[in-house]
Every structure is written in structure tokens, then in C-alpha cells.
Structure 1
Amino acid sequence: MMKKIVSMCGRKSSPRGYNRDLSWWPKEGFVKVCVGKKDSGMPLQEFELETNLLNHRLFKDLLELSVEEYGYDYCGALRIACEVELFLCILNLLRGRDPSVHYKELSDINY
């Protein structure tokens, strides 16, 4: 799954060779992510995320939770089933310089 996501990032032509406006396509090294829970009543929020962050343990845990809610078979951007506030908190931690983030689990995150 991760290889497929990363292989799609930075693509210069549209999927399946169609010639379309690609302004919606993520920049090279990024992937589009929609964040939110189905039952929250709120629309999903879209983000562009650095692909290297997807390899982090915290994101792997988020992806496992997302499979439980969305499954593997859906169209569009990668979906993360969590509160937007939690997602933003994790992003801030991973983009920061604190090395202890590499040892944290989802249950350790207070947002």
C-alpha cells in the first residue's frame, strides 16, 4: 500500500494518461490526505502531507485505524480517520525537532 501511495506522488501526467488540468495534483514528494471521521458530521478536511511522514509509526497507526473505518476500496485522496486536531498535533510533533516523538504511540498524544 505504501509503495503505491508514494509512487503516485509527484507524477507529472494525469492518471491513466488522460490530458487534464493537474492543478489539484499534489506537489512532488507530497500526497493529498483527507482527515476526519465518518460519524463526526463534519466534512473531511484536505491536507498535503510530505510522503516521508507516512513511514512514521504514528501515521502507520493512524492508517490502521483508517482501514477499520474506510477500508481499502475508495476513490480519491488518502483518508485518515481521526479528529483534525489530533492530526494537526501529530504533524506539529513530526515536523518539530524533539527526538522523543519517534518513541510515542497514539495513546501518548494529548491534544
Structure 2
Amino acid sequence: MGGEERAAPRGYVPVLVGAAAAEEEGLQRFLVSVEAFKHACFVSLLEMAAGEFGYQQKGVLRIPCDPEHFRRVLKMPIKDRKRVFEAVSEPVG
């Protein structure tokens, strides 16, 4: 990542998504609205991350799942989907 990361916009959290064993260049970066963290579908992804990496992750939050699955979870019908998932994924690296 080389310290070139842009700051996340207010109300968004950067998340790295990819296979648990993937190196950083194999991960995709998403900006996720803090509103998404309230929904059960997203909480299950956070629980999966805690099971893989523990509760004390340092740096950017990492979720060990397929990026396409992550997109589908975030696009599930949610009251105000536009506010939950507005960002486009950006390759890390």
C-alpha cells in the first residue's frame, strides 16, 4: 500500500476483501458506509473476519471472502441501499 492511501470520505470505512491467504495485492479495496455495519448480512461478514483474524486487526479492516460475494451482500435489499453501497471497488496496490 506504500502510504499512498487516500483518506476515506466522512461516514465511510475502507475495507480490504479477498481470500484469507491473499497477499495485499490480491485484495480489493471498498469504501463501505458506516450504515452497512448495522445490518445482519454485514455483521456476519465481520464475524467471519473475527474468526479468521481475531478482534484486534490493525490497520484497514480485512474481510476474508470473495469480492463478488461481498458485493452481492452489500447490494442485498436494504432500506436505503444507495447510502449503504455507493463506492466502487478499487484494486489495492
TM-score by length of 1: 0.59
Asked if 1 retains the 8 angstrom alpha-carbon contact of 2:42 and 2:74, the reply is: no
Q: Could you give the per-residue CA deviations for residues 7-54 of structure 1, whole angstroms, max 9, x where no partner exists? A: xxxxxxxxxxxxxx9962110110001111223577111110110011
Q: CA RMSD in A?
A: 2.5
Aligned residue pairs total 76
Moved more, 81-90 or 68-77: 68-77
SS in 2 for 1:48: strand
* Structure number having the greater helix percentage: 1
Q: Quick one: which of 13, 23, 42 aligns to 1:31?
A: 13
SS in 2 for 1:67: helix
Greater relative contact order (Cα < 8 A, sep 6+): 2
Identity %: 33
TM-score by length of 2: 0.69
Distance 1:53 1:29 in 2: 10
Give yes or no for the alignment of 1:72 onto 2:55. Answer: yes
Structure 1 gap ranges (5+)? 1-20, 97-111
Distance 1:71 1:45 in 2: 20
Structure 2 gap ranges (5+)? 83-93
Distance 1:58 1:75 in 2: 23
Q: Please name the residue that 2:71 is paired with.
A: 88
Distance 1:49 1:65 in 2: 17
- Superposed counterparts of 1:1-111, under 5 Å: 24-39=6-21, 43-93=26-76, 94=78, 95=81
